[in-house]
């Protein structure tokens, strides 16, 4: 009888986990597809951009040799170029940071799942915690701490310190502490989706900054050309 009860509990955990994973994977795939669309579109822009950039570089090189000193107007244009380049680089740097953040979150999720299975297999650790106490894996905590340090804008979520014994909406029973860890895992899945959406936003901003950079470069070259004409 004990074996059947244990097997039933194990199946409940597996079924709940499978459902959660499938739901999360679907949501993540939607966001991943959006990122791919942005990347494909950016690559199309990049082909035209490389051709235009080659032309700009040729013009800039000629003007660099012909005009040795900056005027007030050309210096202003040059400052805008440097500022826009910096902003564009920041967007791409943040994309790299979010890749790290997602890895931290995934590692935290694994640690939480291991903790749930450990609690599920034995009530000893949970009983030692006492009523209303929080059990949260140290590895999961450290991973989430590093994720937030890497990207401070990462949204937070509230963590209750007391729990109520109750069955979940699937009919399966989990201890309050186990259920809490499941709820945290759901929040982590939402954070992964948030990261993907943030990446899309950053890529779109970087694309717009590249367009601005091209305009500033053209203005810079126009001003240098006029300054060169005026000096002849």
**What is the mean pLDDT for each group of 10 consecutive residues in the chain (232 residues)?**
45 51 62 65 64 76 80 91 97 97 97 88 62 77 96 84 56 72 91 95 93 91 85 71
Beta bridge partners of 173: 167
Q: What is the pTM of this model?
A: 0.70
Report the C-alpha gap between 136 and 184 in whole angstroms.
10
Q: Examine residue 220 and state whether it is found in any structural domain, yes or no.
A: yes
25/107 same-domain check: no
pLDDT at 56: 79
pLDDT at 132: 54
Considering 12, 34, 66, which residue would you say is the last residue of a domain?
66
Domain that holds residue 210: 79-163+171-231
Q: Cα 160 to chain center, whole Å?
A: 25
108/21 same-domain check: no
pLDDT at 84: 97
Q: Examine residue 73 and state whether it is found in any structural domain, yes or no.
A: no
Beta bridge partners of 167: 173
pLDDT at 201: 96
Report the C-alpha gap between 83 and 147 in whole angstroms.
28
146/205 same-domain check: yes
pLDDT at 6: 46
Q: Examine residue 74 and state whether it is found in any structural domain, yes or no.
A: no
Query: Helix (H, G, I), strand (E, B), or coil: what is residue 29?
Result: helix
Q: Yes or no: say if 132 and 197 are a contact pair by the CB < 8 Å rule.
A: no
16/93 same-domain check: no
112/6 same-domain check: no
Q: Examine residue 136 and state whether it is found in any structural domain, yes or no.
A: yes
């Amino acid at each position: 009888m004990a074996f059947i009860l244990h097997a039933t509990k194990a199946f409940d955990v597996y079924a709940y986990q499978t459902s959660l994973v499938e739901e999360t994977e679907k949501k993540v795939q939607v966001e991943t597809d959006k990122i791919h669309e942005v990347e494909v579109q950016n690559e199309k822009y990049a082909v035209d951009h490389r051709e235009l950039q080659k032309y700009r570089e040729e013009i800039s090189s000629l003007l660099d040799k012909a005009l040795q000193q900056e005027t007030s107007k050309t210096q202003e244009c040059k400052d805008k170029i440097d500022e826009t380049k910096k902003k564009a680089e920041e967007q791409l740097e943040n994309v790299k940071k979010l890749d790290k953040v997602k890895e931290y979150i995934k590692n935290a999720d694994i640690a939480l799942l291991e903790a749930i299975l450990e609690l599920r297999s034995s009530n000893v650790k949970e009983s030692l915690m006492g009523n209303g106490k929080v059990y949260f894996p140290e590895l999961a905590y450290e991973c989430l701490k590093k994720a937030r340090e890497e990207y401070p804008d990462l949204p937070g979520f509230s963590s209750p310190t007391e729990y109520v014994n109750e069955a979940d909406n699937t009919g399966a029973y989990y201890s309050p502490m186990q259920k809490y860890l499941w709820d945290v895992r759901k929040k982590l899945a939402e954070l992964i989706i948030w990261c993907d959406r943030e990446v899309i936003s950053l890529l779109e901003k970087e694309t717009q900054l590249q367009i601005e950079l091209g305009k500033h470069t053209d203005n810079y070259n126009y001003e240098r050309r006029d300054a060169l004409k005026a000096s002849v």
